[in-house]
Amino acid sequence: MGERQAVEARIASSAEASHGGNAIRAGRALLVVSILLPAILLVLASWHNRIEVLREADGRVERTLRVLHEHAIKVFETQKLIIDRINGRLRFIDWQQESDRLDLHRFLADLQKSYEQVATLTITDAEGRLVASSRAHPADPSVSFTDRDWFQALRASDRSELYVSRSYLGRQSGQPVFNVARRVYSADGSFQGAVALSVDRGYFETFYREVDPDLAHNVVLVRGDGEILAREPATALMTLPPSAPMMLAISRGDDGPYRAVSAVDRVPRIFSYRQVAPYPVFIGFGVSEAGVLADWRRHVLGYALVAALAAASLFGVSLLALRQMRQERLATRRWRSAADALTAEAAERRRAEEQLRQAQKMEAVGRLTGGVAHDFNNLLTVVIGNLEMAQRRAADIDPRLIRGIDNAMEGARRAATLTHRLLAFSRQSPLSPETVDANRLVAGMSDLFRRTLGEQVAVETVLAGGLWLTQADANQMESAILNLAVNARDAMPEGGKLTIETGNAYLDEAYAAHHEELRAGQYVMVAVCDTGTGMAPEVTSRVFEPFFTTKPPGKGSGLGLAQVYGFMRQSGGHVAVYSEVGQGTAIKLYFPRLARAAGEVPGDPRLTMETPSLIPGVLERAPQPGLTVLAVEDDPMVRAFTVAALEEAGYRVLQAAEGPQALRLIETEPEIALLFTDVVLTGPLDGRRVADEALRLRPRIKVLFTTGYTRNAIIHHGRLDEGVDLLVKPFTAASLGRKVRAALSTA
């Protein structure tokens, strides 16, 4: 019995030793796995993240390049328009008359001051001698440009295209410039000279420096032959060699981002380029690959931290309970869940950053639009107002001059319409909301559709029964529908069918979650459907971008659908596009349903965007001769026109260029009956603060505001503040007279 027990004890001891050995070996293996597994996962995650970072960098390069490309196109198109204006002016110049030469110099000087990128405007004769300049008068005929490549190229060729020169130090400005030049023809069509616009390289390089300040980048503007027109960072190199990666890519016609070592500074970059068509100029943008991978390294450190924590956890678990595999598997699942959550959080962060960048881009475009609209509407006020006064006094003038004035008025009216479209895109256009029955509005447009679209397009309207009411600016709504109809006609060059349909719609939470600023709820739908050529997905995704158009040059501004988009967003609605190549396009406008009774919400009669008429308006006289009006305007030309128009209407006019001067006049001139002030003024006080102080000093004084830019102190969400009266620029003498008389007639 004792021997048997000893044998059993030895067997148990051997089994226990064997089991302990297996446990130790399993523990050692688990310890090794606890270190190797996180390391392997770290390597795989890091490699995957590196690929994603580089892919994101490719997208970032392409997005930034689109911005640079659009900027370059706009600048070159502006330069073309400037040269065309100068050529048009030259047809009426008598070079023998000193007054004509002086007027031409002033015209060139004004153009130079109006455009930041213009360094000098130069006109030469057929021998290359300077005959007119924006910088000096009289022009020095000893200055010759026969050695410049742009003059030699224009003289040697009989083509009328623009020529883009190489970059050099400007002979008149002393600044690094490149020239955009065009031939000047004589009456018999021979070469008479050249008009050259010197473009300041610093204008481009300053813009390029700020285009992506968060990452080391390179921007280059280069001719097709490699001549560098502008570059940021600056370089002493004047020409890219044919072996440079960008020149090789251009010659091969490569598309999309590529990686190469720069021929200028030998820095490895992710680079892409586009042609600034139709000009022989290319814009390139690249980011430092090392800078991009710096973000990746930071990501790797984060992954390494997670991996280290996971390894420590696994190591501790293995030491405490080698045989508790269930707990190990649970810890692994938790780690994987943490990794998935981290990946999801990173994806969400990238999506939020992309939305922020898009919002910042649209906000920047809106601010740019507002500033341009303010200055441009001031100019249009002067042009339209004086043309209207000229029309009213043109009874005994040569009919040809009258036609010229009428044509100028038509051009100014189109310019005012363009400004209106820019403001509509940026949601700064003043609206006059009212209760709208979409069925009645569409039915009332039937004759307009037939006149506008022609006989080749069959128009059908499908009006829903029991259609809800909506609240919108009826004029803008009609304009948006007509805009879509005209686009549909252009998409059906051989004719087709256009369907205008109305209906009630409900946009649910799932749909609203994929569209920023859209709220789920009930909407009135107006759909414009055509049987035209349709659009590819890459075109559909960009149709609402400003200045994007698929039409040939001169056939569209690229602002029509952008205006529709801005109007719908400002109205609290939504616009959706459905299109397939060869099958046609459907664009649906969704207006929020109006829950209140019809007629309960009137429009704002004080807020109108006036389009000047080509017929001279009737200038209403002052209700009492000699009534005193104080005109406050910081633009001297607008102020001069305003004073002239009011004096012609029989008012006594006082004028001020800024707020403090206006308040001093209010304190010393008790006869002032009305304050007419621009909202945006230079100096310490804007127009609203001037009006508030004036009412404090003279509670009975009447106030009439004017502005060319509606995002300011008196308009919020497209509606005027209570008690505010406004005349929107550009305005005519007739509209000014009506507004002033109406303001003075109010109780």
DSSP-assigned letters across all residues of 13-29: HHHHHHHHHHHHHHHHH
Predicted confidence (pLDDT) at residue 266 exceeds the cutoff of 60: yes
The residues pairing with 268 across neighbouring beta strands, listed in sequence order, are: 261
Mean pLDDT of the chain: 80
At residue 242, the pLDDT reads 87
At residue 602, the pLDDT reads 44
Q: Are 592 and 523 a contacting pair, CB within 8 Å?
A: yes
Per-residue 3-state assignment (H helix, E strand, C coil) for 573-639: CEEEEEEECCCEEEEEEEEEECCCCCCCCCCCCCCCCCCCCCCCCCCCCCCCCCCEEEEECCCHHHH
Q: How many whole angstroms separate alpha carbon 747 and alpha carbon 738?
A: 16
Residue 455's CB is within 10 A of a number of other CB atoms, namely 7
pLDDT class of 526 with cuts at 50, 70, 90: very high
Among candidates 173, 180, 185, which has minimal Cα distance to 150? Answer: 180
Predicted confidence (pLDDT) at residue 425 exceeds the cutoff of 70: no
Average pLDDT (160-187) is 90
* Upper half-sphere CA count for residue 665 (Cβ side, 13 Å): 23
This prediction has a pTM of 0.40
Query: Which letter does DSSP use for residue 463 in this model?
Result: P
Predicted confidence (pLDDT) at residue 591 exceeds the cutoff of 50: yes
Distance, first Cα to last Cα, the chain: 127
Average pLDDT (162-178) is 91
At residue 707, the pLDDT reads 83
Residue 314 burial (CB < 10 Å; 0-12/13-18/19+)? buried
At residue 198, the pLDDT reads 93
The residues pairing with 586 across neighbouring beta strands, listed in sequence order, are: 529, 578
Q: How many whole angstroms separate alpha carbon 416 and alpha carbon 608?
A: 13
588, two tokens:
């649906």
Q: Are 672 and 629 a contacting pair, CB within 8 Å?
A: yes
Task: Write out pLDDT tens, residues 328-377.
Answer: 677 777 888 888 888 877 876 776 566 456 546 655 665 666 666 667 77
Average pLDDT (480-489) is 86
* Upper half-sphere CA count for residue 716 (Cβ side, 13 Å): 5
Residue 626's CB is within 10 A of a number of other CB atoms, namely 10
Give the least confident one: 162-171, 256-265, 456-465: 256-265
Percent of the chain scoring above 70 in pLDDT: 78
Q: Are 384 and 409 a contacting pair, CB within 8 Å?
A: yes
Q: Which helix (H) or strand (E) holds 533?
A: none
383, two tokens:
């042009």
Predicted confidence (pLDDT) at residue 394 exceeds the cutoff of 50: yes
At residue 396, the pLDDT reads 62
As a 3-state breakdown, the chain gives helix, strand, coil percent values, each rounded to 5, of 50, 20, 30
Q: How many whole angstroms separate alpha carbon 499 and alpha carbon 197?
A: 49
At residue 383, the pLDDT reads 78
Predicted confidence (pLDDT) at residue 692 exceeds the cutoff of 80: yes
Task: Write out pLDDT tens, residues 14-29.
Answer: 544 455 555 566 666 7
Residue 565 burial (CB < 10 Å; 0-12/13-18/19+)? buried
